[in-house]
Amino acid sequence: MTTQQQTDRNLTDIMWERHSNPLSAWSRILSFPLLLAPFWYESGLLAIVAVFWFVANPFIFPPPSDDNAWSTRGVLGERIWSQDIRLNADTLILALSMAAAVAAIVFALRSAFWPMMTFTATAFISQLWYFDRMHFLYDQHTRS
């Protein structure tokens, strides 16, 4: 890579490249409950830890050596999707995941364990469904 190409790259490009590392993608997905801890325990310190983790995570890991991993293709598909967001099934699945996450936070604030867990599971499963669709989007995009 030439010096000019390195200069032309921005922080967003670096973030997407590094976040496509399977370790970054999976550790971020599996850390979802960390988002609920500050609300459940009403802890500002846990909120700082959670925000730090989710901001730093995409930069911690090196870019993957290839795109063979399902999670790598899912993240790269998400990048393609985010450049041309449309109202379609992918958007609705992501909206379901986000709505369930908000509901999980509300129930965490109320210390209602089972409703929180139900909405957490809904958010998690719909996020994985969305991520799988992003994997297929990436595969379609690279084939054409």
- Work out the pLDDT band at 24, boundaries 50, 70, 90: very high
- What number of CA atoms fall less than 13 Å from residue 49's CA on the CB side? 13
Q: Residue 66 is encoded by which pair of tokens?
A: 């290839």
- Work out the pLDDT band at 32, boundaries 50, 70, 90: confident
How crowded is residue 114: how many other Cβ atoms within 10 Å of its Cβ? 8
CA 66 from chain centre, in angstroms, equals 20
Residue 5: per-residue pLDDT? 52
Ramachandran angles phi, psi of 90, nearest 5°: -60, -45
DSSP 119: H
Mean per-residue pLDDT of the chain: 91
Q: Determine the residue type at 120.
A: T
DSSP 68: -
> Nearest to residue 26, comparing CAs of 65, 75, 76, 62?
75
Q: Determine the residue type at 33.
A: P
Q: Where are the domains of the chain?
A: 3-143
- Work out the pLDDT band at 2, boundaries 50, 70, 90: low
How crowded is residue 112: how many other Cβ atoms within 10 Å of its Cβ? 15
Q: What is the pLDDT of residues 71-91, one digit of tens each?
A: 999 999 999 999 988 889 999
**Terminal alpha carbon distance of the chain:** 26
Residue 144: per-residue pLDDT? 77
CA distance 49 to 47: 5
Q: What is the pTM of this model?
A: 0.85
